[in-house]
Amino acid sequence: MSLNCKFWVSGLKMIAGAKRGRNERKGLHSWHPYYAGYSEAFVASVLQAEGVKSSGIVLDPWMGSGTTGIVCQKQTIKCIGADINPVMSYFAAAKSRGNISSLDDTGERILERILLCFRKKTKNIAESSKGYPLIEQLQQFYKCICDQFIDNRHIDIVNPLKAFYCSVLFYTVRNVLDVKSTSNPTWISKKVDFNNNFDICFEYGKNFKMMREQLNEYYGDAKSESYYSILNADSKKLNIKSNTIDLVITSPPYLTRIDYAVSTRLELEIILGGEGYKSLRKEVMGTTTVPKVADDINEKWGSLCMDVLSAVTSHTSRASGSYYLKNKIRYFSDAYDSLKEIFRVLKIGCSGYFVIQNSYYKEIEIPLYDIYCEMALSIGFTEAKCVREDQVKAIFGQINTKSKNYIKDKFYFEKIIRITK
């Protein structure tokens, strides 16, 4: 299957590129340095091309930091986002425009109760023990936030106001501890100093004010609020009724050495603990952990997928037929099951847009966008085509510098594919 294209498909308006500009890493976008995001212009161009009305519902099953959602809110279009990582679910939900009025009404009161709760907890523990490690202080602070909210909703639905307070905590921790990434954005460049003795309440209060102002500034000229719901859910098991979604805009995890759970390990250990983090990491699509026994291979994944798995199996490099094969099989299995779920919730005649990059295993190219198209057609989608193609210089597939030993002149493309039910 050849999906060579440049910028658009006949019958569709121009689709903007997914690459973000510098301004899209500031303000509200700076709350979490999400390396796998895409541009607001891309989302806006898809909404325009598809002619989505305010009564329609847009879904992003791999929501990440929430770009699809904030653009939809600006245009008063209903949006549902999902992410299996609770940290990213919090950041996406925190950007709800509805939080502006909620914070105006009760923001300061809730802040005061959280800080009072934390001071009481730390005082009691400090009096009964010699030390109080920072990680435990942060876990107690998180519990104080949770204590302010009684969630009567479905367990999957994230409370946007609670999410805002949690996001302030995560932002505060990363900035005070000076957490920075290396060339691989899931690795931290230095060991986090949990002996850092800083005033959590002071720093939290300062960042609460700043992030609240950034939220107001972003939506300052926006129209009335629209439905916006974030699910902390697996893309393979969405709590959404069948045939209810009008449009999907998303970017699935890539098949690289990026470990999406590791990138938020600090925050995950605050809210889930060490064992909870390890458990979630195994479930996240794109994880570098592998099962002891490889998952079953499904020929419905398509001939291109079978060719890639065959090439990996027969490769002479170490662990190709064991660890790396299991890693690829798990990814393709998750991708196929997620596409089946998207097919279930999407209305007949409606489409999904996916931003996807190719990658390499050693010298073996993995045309991920083509593989997704073959999977989609196998599931029952009526059409799968490329609507934009851009060659990119630096991508996540280049993180492992040793891979250059196998082939130096690798060409990387970012394609936007459109699949229609």
Instruction: Name the residue range of residue 70's domain.
Output: 22-420
Does residue 68 fall inside a structural domain? yes
Take residue 202 and report the two structure tokens written for it. Answer: 């002071």
- Whether 2 is in a domain gets the answer no
C-beta atoms surrounding 394 within 10 Å: 9
- Model confidence over 264-274: pLDDT tens digits? 888 999 999 99
Higher pLDDT: 266 or 126? It is: 266
Domains identified in the chain, total number: 1
Would you call 268 exposed, middle or buried from its count of C-beta atoms within 10 A (0-12, 13-18, 19+)?
Answer: buried
**What percentage of the chain reaches a pLDDT higher than 90?**
63
* In-domain check, residue 243: yes
The model's pLDDT over 284-296, given as tens digits with 9 standing for 90+, comes to 998 888 888 889 9
Nearest C-alpha neighbor of 370 from the set 320, 417, 311, 300: 417
CA distance 275 to 273: 6
Alpha carbon 6 to its chain centroid, in Å, reads 26
Q: At what angle do helices 160-176 and 134-147 cross, to 10 degrees?
A: 160
Query: d(Cα 89, Cα 47) in Å, to the nearest integer?
Result: 22
Interatomic CA distance for residues 247 and 61, integer angstroms: 11
Instruction: Give a yes or no: residue 64 inside a domain.
Output: yes
Q: Lowest-confidence range among 16-20, 61-65, 96-100, 180-184?
A: 180-184
Judge whether 16 lies within some domain: no
State what percent of residues in the chain have pLDDT above 70.
Answer: 83
Token pair in block for residue 42: 């891309």
Lowest mean pLDDT among 1-15, 120-134, 276-290, 314-328: 1-15
3-state secondary structure 295-342: CCCCHHHCHHHHHHHHHHHHCCCCCHHHHHHHHHHHHHHHHHHHHHHH
Helix axes 200-218, 134-147, angle to 10 degrees: 50
Q: Please indicate, yes or no, if residue 306 is contained in any of the structural domains.
A: yes
Question: Considering the domain boundaries, does residue 182 fall inside one?
Answer: yes
State the burial class of residue 2 (Cβ atoms within 10 Å of its Cβ: 0-12, 13-18, 19+).
Answer: exposed
Q: Is residue 351 situated within a structural domain? A: yes
We report the CATH number of the domain holding residue 272 as: 3.40.50.150
Token pair of 65 as six digits: 């930091």
Query: Range with the lowest mean pLDDT among 22-26, 83-87, 163-167, 263-267?
Result: 22-26
Q: How far is C-alpha 400 from the geometric centre of its chain's CA atoms?
A: 22
